[in-house]
């Protein structure tokens, strides 16, 4: 992730708070992806495609739908890491994610991790403004435009690319911009949606106070 750090340093935004939240996301989200090629694709996507606001801005413009600590500086990163942390636990309770021995399938969990990391990457645009376009659709397109060419030159699979695209596109579940009644969602899409919904609740402020740093 050196290229990402160099980019942010060049942009003048790599302060201790941003560094802390990136380190947490790297440990609990990016490095949790078991597939080396998918993990590398996610890192390169963040480096080349994610606007600076993904690393520095809060999770919402109004503060209406997220707890306070996700609405401060680097709040999107904090929210993304928190979502990644609960993915394995949620997946272990969903039959579609389990193999015959009731173990979570890592290939499916990989897609959920990658989609969670990509899902809110375009909430803020390159001008530092809140995106007026549905960020789930924009993020899904940006991911596929970036990742599809890698299928021919790396071991990243078409299934992984499209699996992440679907889960990004539908991570708001029934509230996704182009959702229609009867729309079928993949298990990975539902998992990403569930984690996103749980960790966006304002009620979390009544339950606990977060650590300054997410660590082991």
pLDDT by residue for the chain (216 residues), tens digit each? Answer: 999 999 999 999 999 999 999 999 999 999 999 999 999 999 999 999 999 999 999 999 887 889 999 999 999 999 999 999 999 999 999 999 999 999 999 999 999 999 999 999 999 998 899 888 899 999 999 999 999 999 999 999 999 999 999 999 999 988 899 888 778 899 999 999 999 999 999 999 999 888 888 876
- Please indicate, yes or no, if residue 17 is contained in any of the structural domains: yes
Q: What long-range pairs does 56-59 form, CB within 8 A, spacing at least 24?
A: 56/13, 56/18, 57/123, 57/124, 57/128, 59/120, 59/123, 59/200
- Predicted local distance difference test score (pLDDT) of residue 117: 98
The secondary structure of 122-171 as a DSSP string is: TSB-TTSSB-SS-HHHHHHHHHHHHHTTHHHHSS--HHHHHHHHHHHHTT
- Please indicate, yes or no, if residue 211 is contained in any of the structural domains: no
- Please indicate, yes or no, if residue 58 is contained in any of the structural domains: yes
State which residues form the domain around 106: 2-206
- Please indicate, yes or no, if residue 212 is contained in any of the structural domains: no
The C-alpha angle with vertex 154 and arms to 148 and 156, in degrees rounded to 5, equals 60
Give the predicted TM-score (pTM) of the model.
Answer: 0.96
- Predicted local distance difference test score (pLDDT) of residue 40: 98
- Predicted local distance difference test score (pLDDT) of residue 216: 64
- Predicted local distance difference test score (pLDDT) of residue 206: 94
- Please indicate, yes or no, if residue 215 is contained in any of the structural domains: no
Q: How many domains does the chain have?
A: 1
- Please indicate, yes or no, if residue 42 is contained in any of the structural domains: yes
- Please indicate, yes or no, if residue 121 is contained in any of the structural domains: yes
- Predicted local distance difference test score (pLDDT) of residue 118: 98
């Amino acid at each position: 992730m050196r290229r990402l750090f160099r980019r942010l340093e060049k942009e003048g935004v790599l302060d201790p708070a941003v560094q802390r939240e990136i380190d947490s996301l790297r440990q609990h989200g990016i490095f949790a992806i078991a597939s080396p090629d998918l993990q590398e694709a996610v890192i390169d996507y963040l480096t080349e495609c994610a606007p600076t606001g993904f690393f520095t801005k809060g999770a919402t413009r109004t503060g209406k739908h997220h707890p306070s600590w996700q609405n401060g500086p680097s709040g999107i990163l904090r929210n993304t890491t928190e979502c990644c942390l609960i993915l394995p636990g949620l997946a272990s309770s969903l039959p579609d994610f389990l193999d015959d021995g009731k173990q979570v399938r890592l290939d499916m969990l990989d897609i959920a991790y990658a989609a969670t990391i990509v899902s809110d990457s375009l909430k803020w645009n390159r001008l530092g403004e809140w995106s007026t376009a549905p960020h789930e659709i924009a993020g899904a397109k940006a991911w596929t435009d970036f990742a599809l060419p890698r299928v021919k030159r790396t071991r990243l699979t078409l299934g992984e690319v499209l699996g992440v695209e679907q889960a990004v596109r539908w991570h708001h579940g029934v509230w996704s911009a182009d959702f229609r009644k009867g729309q079928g969602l993949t298990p990975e899409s539902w998992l990403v949606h569930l984690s996103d919904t749980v960790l966006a609740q304002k009620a979390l402020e009544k339950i606990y106070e977060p650590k300054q740093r997410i660590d082991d």
